[in-house]
Structures are given as C-alpha cells and as structure tokens.
Amino acid sequence: MGRQPCCDKLGVKKGPWTAEEDKKLINFILTNGQCCWRAVPKLAGLLRCGKSCRLRWTNYLRPDLKRGLLTESEEQLVIDLHARLGNRWSKIAARLPGRTDNEIKNHWNTHIKKKLTKMGIDPVTHEPINKPSTTTNTTSTVDDHHQPEPEQLRPPLPQKTEESQATSEENSSSSQPETCWGAESGSSSDNNREDDPLMNFLWENDTPFLDASWDFPVTPSAGNTINNVDMSACEENCANWLLDCQDFSVEEFGFGCFNDVGVDMGMNINMMDMVDEKL
C-alpha cells in the first residue's frame, strides 16, 4: 500500500504561520471542535495540510498551554520522567499540564541535555558519564557550578492522598531506559516509583490532564469540571490566552464563539469577564 503524502496538493502552504491563519484555525476549532484534521484546512479556509493545522493547534494555539520556560520543578519532573520513559515525549508531556511534547522535547535538547552532561550525567542513560570506580560523589567532568547530585534533582514530593490503583501502561513497558536516580543500586523503576509519591501519583492518574478538556463542543457538564478535570486552571489559562489574542484584535475573532465555548464547557466563570478584569 502506498503511503499517501500528507501534503499532496500543490499550493499547500508551508513555513511559519501568519496571524491570519492562526485566527482562522482558532475560530474553526472553537466553533466546530477538533474533528477530522484532514478536513480542517478545507473547512477553515486554510491552505495548509491537516497535519500542519494539528501541530499548530496542539503546540501553539491551544488555549490551555503555558508559555515560557519550564520551571525548576517541571524540569526536574521531566528529567525523572525521561529516566523512566525515555524519549516518549508525549507521555512525559501528558503529565505536565500546559506543556506540549514538542516543547518538552525542545527544552530537553537545548537545556536539560546540556545541564546533565555538564553535571557528568549521561542524558540518555541517566548514569554518570565517567562511571566512577570509587565511591566519590564528584566527577572530573562536573564543572565548578557545584551542581546537585542526581538524587537532589528529584522533584519535590507532594502529599499522596489517593490509594493505589491499577498501574498504567508505562508500568509494563520496560523497553525504555530504566536507569534512574540511584540506579546503581539496581533498583527498578517500579521500585523507585513506589518510593516516590509524586511518581505514584502521576502513574496512577494516567488520564491525560488536558486532552479531554478540549474536545469541545461538549455537552454542558455540571459544576466546574469536565470529565473530572478541574477547569479553574483551565479558565485561567484560557483567559491568559485570550489576552494573547489581543494581538489579533479581539473583534476579528468573532468572540461570540468564546462565550459559546464557555457555556459548552460548563464554565461557571465567563472567560471574557476574566479577560476584562485582566485588562
């Protein structure tokens, strides 16, 4: 079977997205929801392939995205998750609300990789690069910045309140690098996880934090949650996002759709009010 090229049509635009294109895509998604991506460009009046639209939406336009550099704790979480999951960026991203796989991947390649290397840690295996034959804690490759040892890089541990549930798929996928902090003891990731409330929490809550919340239009749901996702943070992000949209000139969006979205999503707070407040 021949693979169908993604962008087989002539005249399909590539390269950076313009504000106008963003506007069209946002408008379309907000009014119609995420449906067949292949059809999106046609229906939205874009000269892009569906793949490009999906990427633009998920990596940049999605209103629930955080912007800016990863925080220290997020970075540490990424490191820990990478030690367990390897380069499965989507899985890692699923556990960092508001962050995309692309963003995390980029951050890993540009920041964390370097940081770990500097510290004398192999970013792939998460083992010390020059495996010390002695028990010394310092390696010759570590520079003079007095970086913390791997154990110290572990993220702060939140209180765990939920009781254990069935393990998720990652639990059984052992093909990825299993070495982790304190790996020299031969502790498996599972063992490690048991000792790590944060990781337990993350693994047990395998449900993506965000995906469900943008499957609108949806039927109104009670309260301030959608599919058990707390919408408060989402609303806040939406409001921030709408603020960003000021760059496009609010009126051009046809903001009626935003109010509709607010209703559809069962939000108690009118996002536009939040925008007004922020302004």
Distance of CA 58 to the CA centre of its chain: 9
Q: Least Å distance between CB 228 and DNA?
A: 20
Selected range binding DNA among 75-83, 105-113, 152-160, 262-270, rule: CB under 7 A:
105-113
Between 107 and 160, CB nearer to DNA = 107
32 exposure class (CB count in 10 Å sphere: 0-12, 13-18, 19+): middle
Quote the least distance from Cβ 25 to DNA, whole Å: 11
Distance, in Å, from the CA atom of 167 to the CA atom of 76, rounded to the nearest integer, reads 22
* Interior angle at CA 271, CA 270 and CA 277, nearest 5: 100
H/E stretch holding 230 reads strand 229-230
From 9, 10, 14, 156, residue interacting with DNA (rule: CB under 7 A): 14
Return the ∠ at Cα 121 (arms to 118 and 122), rounded to 5°.
110
Binding status of residue 89 toward DNA by CB under 7 A: yes
Q: By 3-state DSSP, what share of the chain in percent is helix, strand and coil, each rounded to 5? A: 50, 0, 50
74 touches DNA (CB under 7 A): no
Closer residue to DNA in complex, CB, 2/156? 2
Residue 101 near DNA by CB under 7 A: yes
Question: Least CB distance from residue 266 to DNA, whole Å?
Answer: 22
Contact positions vs DNA (CB under 7 A): 1-4, 6-7, 13-17, 35-39, 48, 50-52, 54-56, 59-60, 69, 87-91, 101-103, 105-107, 109-111, 114
